[in-house]
Amino acid sequence: MEKKTCLSLLVENNFGVLSRISGLFARRGYNIDSLTVGTTENAELSRITITVTGDDQILTQIKKQLNKLIDVITVIELKPDEAIIRELVFIKVKADDTTRSQIVEIANMFRANIVDVARESLVIEITGTRYKIEGFFEMVEPYGILEFVRSGDTGLQRGGKILSH
Amino acid sequence: MIPLLASKLILKCLERENVEFVFGYPGGALLPLYEAFRTSPIKHILVRNEQTAPHYASGYARESGRVGVCLATSGPGATNLVTGIATAYLDSIPIVAITGQVDRALIGTDAFQEADITGATAPFTKHSYLVQNAADIPRIIREAFHIASTGRPGPVLIDIPRDVQLENVKTGLTYDKIDIMGYKPNLNGHSGQIKRAIKKIKEATKPVIYAGGGVVLGNAQTELLAFAEKNNIPVITSLMGIGGFPEDHPLYCGIVGSHGYKYSNVVMNGADLIINIGARMSNRATSQLTKFEKDTDFVHIDIDPAEIGKNMETNIPIVGDAKTVLSELVQKDTVGDHAGWLAEIETIRSENPLVYDADPPCSDLINPKILFKDMSEMTSDNATVVGDVGLNQIWSALYYRIIKNRRYYTSGGLGTMGYSIPAACGAAFATLDKPKEIFIVCGDGSFQMSMGELGVIAEHQLNVNIILITNTKLGMVRQLQFDNYGKGHYSGTDINFDIDFMKLAEAYGIKSFKVDKNADFNKVLPEVIKHQGPTLIQCQVHPDFIRI
């Protein structure tokens, strides 16, 4: 059975590490839903969050193949109840004098921020889980979504455990 | 500390890794390194095409048990290495490939002879480096050899820009301790899993050991023999596992797969427990295994955790080195009585005998199966046979017997034609101080892919003997065309020019013979073995002899 899984990787900040990882997915036919990468508290390391879809066998293989890469130090699965997983989305919605306040009200309910206002549109910044964002999309859809951009999931384990240990 | 030119430092680092030979081809981006070679004790062997250089390194590595090194310049030199690197990757052979690169400032500008070789080889290198700072050279070379030769071995590439080679470095050989955060291969099997495996082995009534390349690469032949004998478990090998178990042993049960022995596939299908040691279970090996997954228990011992469960569902995974795990298993109380199963195997064997006969017109010329059977009787106990790819490979794998200290090398995973000549030469360089019998087995197709290397054979008077099986066809593809489309449906598989190989050998000063009867081959072979230096025997096989 296919399911979505969120993986968190600690990698050495070496030349070509991102292309090694993305290349691994491409050549083995694994689907990446999203991938985010950023610096960490240690300048020599980067942290990558990858969301993938696949059955258990594929997910196990993905983890093993990632672990085989020399630059990859740790791979863990971020389980929703043991981790905070969020995504940042910017949505540009059609908005005129009659609809603007309604959209702002919806945004407030979702604790989203209005980050740009124009005569015929609004840009809304929303952070949250996949479910929250889906819910928000559903609410603003009727007003007309002009475009949006999603950062992809990023996440951190809850509690005192840290990945570099 | 006196500053050292980086190009000299590179060779000093290679010396520290005990490198004797580098198989390479020079070019603009390697000028500083080649200048340094002039005064280095490391011997540079000039290959005749970069495409063969990784195969030399591979043959050298397989024969010596050490890391093989190949070298090529930037751009086309580097891209010419690609197939050989992939070949080593698929067979897990430890090689280090060094490439020249354009100056750092020119990278990304499509400069003359620039190619992104770390990018191009990423899918089939164990790891790769682009050296951006000469001070990193001691660390990178140390790590590269460590990564190539430990865990599951494989190729590592080091790409070195020309201007980096020209830097002066003060660090010297300071880097000693290897500490790679993301690389800690596991050698010892998990004790819980080993316990479970022992329980299964005790319970099994029809166990089979399936030995792969991991047994050969891990030098676990002695341990495997002890384990199999103690427990009376028959041993089947993969193509890469040839040499893992003596083929004259009563427990030896042949080679599995689409090109294996029929009886081996039948035995494997009948097993209730497969103990897989270092085999990948690739599609070619498992194509004849039908009922296998449903009612067979599966213990998989492999140093690479990603191989376990990749192609075959596994009940008991043991991540570890073949030698280490087998030495542990052999100490445990596992002895089972498999007399009934061994008797059943004898019946299977007699019901599926090896077929040597051929009908005219095929029987009028050399019968390659009999040729390799006879060759088994006449060659030494420590001969090395390097099979190329095609019918010649399968005939030599199936009918030449690997016993005692004999070795068999071939490109099993990638199936790279042209492998045998350079790989055998690499093996010959590895044994220069104690020459042994080395045989190259190739067809007229694979021979022509690497025949430029006759130049190296002649130049160094390498003690290699070429068994050239000629049928003016690309035999294995022709066989596939016959099987898939029927008689006469041959396309692109005729070599429409009957080359005078004797004259070609003569041009290189290589002693050569041409035979078209098995009896004549048997007369010539002892002469060839006695001869010091390279030889070639052209063996005429009928084009319609396509059975393996």
Q: Residue B533: give its domain's CATH number.
A: 3.40.50.970
* β-pair partners for B422: none
* pLDDT at position B315 over 90: no
Complex prediction ipTM: 0.89
Q: Are B320 and B303 in contact (CB under 8 A)?
A: yes
| Exposure of B120 in the CB half-sphere (CA atoms within 13 A) | 19
Using pLDDT thresholds of 50, 70 and 90, give the confidence band for residue B284. confident
B182 assigned to some structural domain: no
Query: B121 and B248 share a domain?
Result: no
- The one-letter code for the residue type at A151 is S
At residue B34, the pLDDT reads 98
Per DSSP bridges, beta strands B535-540 and B464-470 are parallel
Q: For residue A65, what is the nearest residue in chain B, using CA coordinates?
A: B306
Least Cα distance to B285 among B268, B307, B301 occurs for B268
B176 assigned to some structural domain: no
Query: B258 and B400 share a domain?
Result: no
At residue A31, the pLDDT reads 87
Q: Please report the beta strands in B143-234, taking only residues with DSSP state E, as ranges in sequence order.
A: 156-161, 168-169, 207-211
Adjacency order of strands within the sheet including B384-387: B407-409, B384-387, B438-443, B464-470, B535-540, B511-515
B77 assigned to some structural domain: yes
At residue A165, the pLDDT reads 67
B68 assigned to some structural domain: yes
Q: How far is A68 from chain B (nearest CA, A)?
A: 8
Q: What is the mean pLDDT of chain B?
A: 95
Q: What is the mean pLDDT of chain A?
A: 94
Asked whether the beta carbons of residue B119 and residue A19 sit closer than 8 angstroms, the reply is yes
Query: B229 and B292 share a domain?
Result: yes
Spatial distance between the Cα atoms of B257 and A165, rounded to a whole number of angstroms: 44
Q: What is the DSSP string of B45-95?
A: EE-SSGGGHHHHHHHHHHHHSS-EEEEE-TTHHHHTTHHHHHHHHHTT--E
Q: Are B349 and B228 in contact (CB under 8 A)?
A: no
Using pLDDT thresholds of 50, 70 and 90, give the confidence band for residue B483. very high
Query: B32 and B122 share a domain?
Result: yes
What residues have CB less than 8 Å from B170, skipping those under 6 apart? B1, B3, B4, B135
B335 assigned to some structural domain: yes
Phi first, then psi: what are they for B308, rounded to 5°?
-80, 120
Predicted confidence (pLDDT) per residue in A31-50, tens digit: 899 999 999 999 999 999 99
Predicted confidence (pLDDT) per residue in B374-431, tens digit: 999 999 999 999 999 999 999 999 999 999 999 999 999 999 999 999 999 999 999 9
Least Cα distance to A50 among A70, A66, A61 occurs for A66
Q: Are A158 and A79 in contact (CB under 8 A)?
A: no
CA quadruple B480, B484, B487, B488: dihedral positive or negative?
negative
Domain boundary among B319, B351, B383: B351
Q: Are B288 and B222 in contact (CB under 8 A)?
A: no
- Cβ-Cβ contacts under 8 Å, B180 against chain A: 70
Q: From residue B433, how far is each of A62, B43, B64, B65, B457 by CA, in Å?
A: 46, 14, 12, 15, 16
- Residue that is written with structure tokens 């000299």 in the block: B8
What residues have CB less than 8 Å from A7, skipping those under 6 apart? A49, A50, A51, A52, A62, A63, A66, A75, A76, A77, A78
Tell me which DSSP letter residue B16 carries.
H
B323 assigned to some structural domain: yes
- Cβ-Cβ contacts under 8 Å, A20 against chain B: 122
At residue B305, the pLDDT reads 94
At residue A84, the pLDDT reads 96
Spatial distance between the Cα atoms of B421 and B442, rounded to a whole number of angstroms: 8
Domain boundary among B115, B134, B169: B169
Predicted confidence (pLDDT) per residue in B210-227, tens digit: 999 999 999 999 999 999
Query: B10 and B140 share a domain?
Result: yes
Query: B35 and B151 share a domain?
Result: yes
Query: B285 and B322 share a domain?
Result: yes
Chain B stretch 110-149, residues whose beta carbon is closer than 8 A to a beta carbon of chain A? 118-119, 122-123, 126-130, 132, 147
- Residue that is written with structure tokens 């004999």 in the block: B406
The full set of domains in chain A, from first to last, is 3-78 (3.30.70.260), 84-154 (3.30.70.1150)
Asked whether the beta carbons of residue B132 and residue A15 sit closer than 8 angstroms, the reply is yes
Least Cα distance to A51 among A68, A70, A37 occurs for A37
Predicted confidence (pLDDT) per residue in B427-479, tens digit: 999 999 999 999 999 999 999 999 999 999 999 999 999 999 999 999 999 99
Of A19, A61, A70, nearest to B180 by CB-CB distance is A70
Q: How far is B196 from chain A (nearest CA, A)?
A: 21
DSSP H/E element including B125:
none
What residues have CB less than 8 Å from B42, skipping those under 6 apart? B11, B14, B15, B19, B20, B21, B22
Decide if A44 touches B, using CB distance below 8 A.
no
Q: From its phi and psi, is residue B125 left (phi > 0), alpha (psi between -120 and 50) or beta?
A: beta
- Residue that is written with structure tokens 């001969």 in the block: B383
Spatial distance between the Cα atoms of B320 and B190, rounded to a whole number of angstroms: 8
Chain B stretch 307-326, residues whose beta carbon is closer than 8 A to a beta carbon of chain A? 309-310
B175 assigned to some structural domain: no
Q: Which of A45, A59, A64, A66 to mutate to test the interface with B (most CBs of B within 10 A)?
A: A64
B50-59, B334-343, B380-389, B459-468: least confidently modelled range = B334-343
Query: B67 and B162 share a domain?
Result: yes
Query: B223 and B79 share a domain?
Result: no
Decide if A13 touches B, using CB distance below 8 A.
no
Q: Which CATH number does the domain housing residue B334 bear?
A: 3.40.50.1220
- Tally of structural domains, chain B: 3
Q: From its phi and psi, is residue B488 left (phi > 0), alpha (psi between -120 and 50) or beta?
A: left
Domain boundary among B351, B386, B410: B351
Summarize the confidence of residues A122-149 as an average pLDDT: 97
Summarize the confidence of residues A101-111 as an average pLDDT: 97
Query: B399 and B519 share a domain?
Result: yes
Range of the structural domain that residue B489 is part of: 362-540
Query: B392 and B490 share a domain?
Result: yes
Least Cα distance to B315 among B189, B152, B200, B191 occurs for B200
Query: Residue B59 is encoded by which pair of tokens?
Result: 């043959």
* β-pair partners for A35: A50
B39-43, B328-332, B447-451, B521-525: least confidently modelled range = B328-332
B288 assigned to some structural domain: yes
Beta-carbon count within 10 A of B485 CB: 11
Of A12, A64, A65, nearest to B181 by CB-CB distance is A12
Query: B48 and B67 share a domain?
Result: yes
At residue B291, the pLDDT reads 62
At residue B314, the pLDDT reads 85
DSSP H/E element including A98:
none
- Cβ-Cβ contacts under 8 Å, B304 against chain A: 68
| Model pTM above 0.90 | yes
